[in-house]
Chains A and B, each alone.
Chain A
Amino acid sequence: MALYPSVLELIGNTPLVDISALSPNPLARLFIKLEGQNPGGSVKDRVALSMVEQAERDGILVPGKPDQILMEPSSGNTGIGLAMVCRVKGYALKVVMPTNVSIERRQLLELWGAEIIESPGSEGSNGAVRMARGLAAEHLEWVFLYQYGNRANPQAHYEGTGPEVLRDCPGITHFVAGLGTSGTLLGVGRYLREKLGESIQIWAVEPPSGEMVDGLRNLDDGYIPPIFEELGGADLLDRKTVVRPRESIEWTRRLTDVGVFAGISTGAAVAGAIKCAASLGVDEEASIVVVSADGGWKYLSTGAWTDDIDEVTERAKGIIYF
């Protein structure tokens, strides 16, 4: 179909591309799911639409009713996806976002008409979550969808991303994705585990954000998304690996060799997939699917592709890219 009644119909059904040319292991095929192809530019379009439509079904949001305000903490992509969905549907949106995100993330929120409420950059996303929870308690008239605790987040991946992955790569053996809210891993992971049992390995990739977020007063300021605990995330994952900023940038650059222009978190996820490919046993064949959360457009200002790698790496330590 080439004619759509609304841009929101373009969310999902993203392409899967063979990038085995980057695999260090000839027996390990590598496929990347390009979530940057969503109309709002990231995987979070799925989550935004899923949460808003669930709230409409629950009567929390009423289509067409004036003066409905949503408020959400986000390091960027969920805020941008929600801002696009809200603009199309006629809702107002306030996004609580740390100050240390790329300038393009702010610009995109502004162009969709969202109001940005700044939280301290030194506290990272944890600080944005804390501030948003406080604001939600003060403003009961605002709709707080709360992506970290909203089951419509992983459900979007259980119903959409997961079936798409299996449809396009029926021989999948490993699924690799970044761990932010844990929605992608929970939704796709549970779907694949139900369909393929223990033959599928679920790998999570994290940036060393906790090292860079220096505003934590103590470790009790740490944060685990409620959906991760409620839906048994720890039992679902087989491996979790940390990928450092330099490696993330290196793989973000390497991806251009196969024509993929993706965000810095994709570089991290691909680095994780490469570790996965390198960890296989002798004669073990694998089909590894890795998620590219967004395209590279929002990170041009970081100089990630063109500037000196040491300088870019230092800069990346100061911004939130997950």
Chain B
Amino acid sequence: MAAEVRLPTVLRAHAGGASVVTLSGATIGEVLGKLVAEYPGMEGQVVQADGSLHKFVNIYVNDDDVRYLQGVDTPVPDGAEISILPAVAGG
């Protein structure tokens, strides 16, 4: 399924400055795998070596955090918007 992946400022340099890239995959894990394959500079920044999400990264599918859905196995609907956001404090 094709999805638009929104990149945070900190990762854009690894994608030639792009803020949004289009990738396909049936699950979040597949999409993120393609992201790292296409932009190797992101290796270790989004997904860890064991395939789990980087501790300080939050991934949202259509505004829902995938950690509270099915993690990297969360299905990606066609036309979905995926956002990668660094963990930031408030207060």
Contact = CB atoms under 8 A, between A and B. Distances in A.
User: Which of under 10, 10 to 19, 20 to 34, or 35 or more describes the interface residues of B?
Assistant: 20 to 34
A298 B87 CA distance: 25
Interface of A: 44, 74-75, 77-78, 124-126, 129, 147-148, 178-181, 183, 206-211, 213-214, 216-225, 234, 237-244, 265, 275, 320, 322
B67 A234 contact: yes
Contacts of A220: 56
Interface stretch (B21-29, B30-38, B57-65, B72-80): B57-65
Contacts of A210: 8, 58, 85-88
A241 B57 contact: no
Contacts of B55: 222, 224
A75 B45 CA distance: 26
A219 B57 contact: yes
20 contacts: A75-B91, A124-B89, A147-B91, A181-B89, A206-B85, A209-B90, A210-B8, A210-B85, A213-B9, A213-B86, A216-B86, A218-B10, A222-B87, A224-B55, A240-B67, A240-B68, A241-B60, A242-B60, A242-B65, A322-B91
Contacts of B45: 218-219
A216 B57 CA distance: 12
Contact of B90 (A178, A211, A239, A243): A178
A224 B56 contact: yes
Contacts, number: 113
Kindly name the residue among B8, B60, B67 whose own CB sees the greatest number of chain A CB atoms within 10 A.
Answer: B8
Interface of B: 6, 8-11, 45-46, 54-58, 60, 63-65, 67-68, 83, 85-91
Given A208-B83, A234-B67, A242-B85, A222 B90 contact: no
A221 B88 CA distance: 9
Given A211-B85, A234-B67, A241-B64, A181 B56 contact: no
Contact of A148 (B8, B85, B86, B91): B91
Nearest to B65: A240
Contacts of A216: 8-10, 86
B25 to A, nearest CB: 20
